[in-house]
Amino acid sequence: MKSQSVFYVYALKDPRVNPARAFYIGKGAGTRAWEHVLQVDQSAKGKRIREIHDAGLKVLTIKLVEGISETEALRIEAELIGAFGTQDHGGFLTNAVVPSGTRLSKSKDVIVPSGAVEKAQMSLDHLKSAVFETAKANKNGVTNYDVAKCLGLQSDYGGGSKNYLSYSVLGILMREGKVKRLPNKKHVAVID
């Protein structure tokens, strides 16, 4: 387990513009910030890295905040991605925070502030991870009530206990094939 204050938040910057502009924000520990350049993937971030290399330049990797806990790093990462926005939502970051295959739509009467979609989707990724790990750790399965209660997701709205948040996250994980529901209404992780 990593020490509580070894995490940092970093930016990958494009030196082709002056001043260099961040095109990716992440959190990590150790050498995580430099792994993107060493193992270039097929994402929008990877495409940008290849373009910078093809121009004969190097990606600038900058630690923005360091010596913080993972929780602090997650919060700062979400705030920065929300503030700068992703290319898919009018911003300039290549971060892919919206799950692929999910089409986001909104009511014509709802105003969505800049960065709100990115923050929500990053939070959803963290919730999915926590619920999946909980299901994985319990070989006999977990119920929606178990997940809501154990992870602090239980609703107390109006005195009722409608645990829609955890149920929605379990539903997403089932749709993605990561969790399945047993006949006894318990959910188990699908391990590859």
Give the model confidence (pLDDT) of 140-176 as tens digits.
Answer: 999 888 898 888 888 777 656 677 888 888 888 888 8
pLDDT at 56 over 60: yes
User: How many other C-beta atoms can be found within 10 angstroms of the C-beta atom of residue 162?
Assistant: 12
Q: Would you place residue 106 in the very low, low, confident or very high pLDDT band (cuts 50, 70, 90)?
A: low
Asked whether the CA dihedral 173, 175, 181, 186 is positive or negative, the reply is positive
Query: Please, what are the domains in the chain?
Result: 7-89 (3.40.1440), 116-189 (1.10.10.10)
Taking the C-alpha atoms of residue 179 and residue 192, their distance in angstroms, rounded to an integer, is 11
Residue from 82, 65, 83, 84 nearest 27 by CA: 65
- Mean local confidence (pLDDT), 32-44: 92
Q: Would you place residue 104 in the very low, low, confident or very high pLDDT band (cuts 50, 70, 90)?
A: low
Residue 161 has what pLDDT?
61
Window from 8-22, 70-84, 151-165 with minimum mean pLDDT: 151-165
Taking the C-alpha atoms of residue 80 and residue 122, their distance in angstroms, rounded to an integer, is 11
Q: 99 preceded by cis ω (within 30°)?
A: no
| Three-class SS state of 70 | helix
Which parts of 35-185 are beta strand (E)? 60-68, 179-181
Taking the C-alpha atoms of residue 166 and residue 114, their distance in angstroms, rounded to an integer, is 26
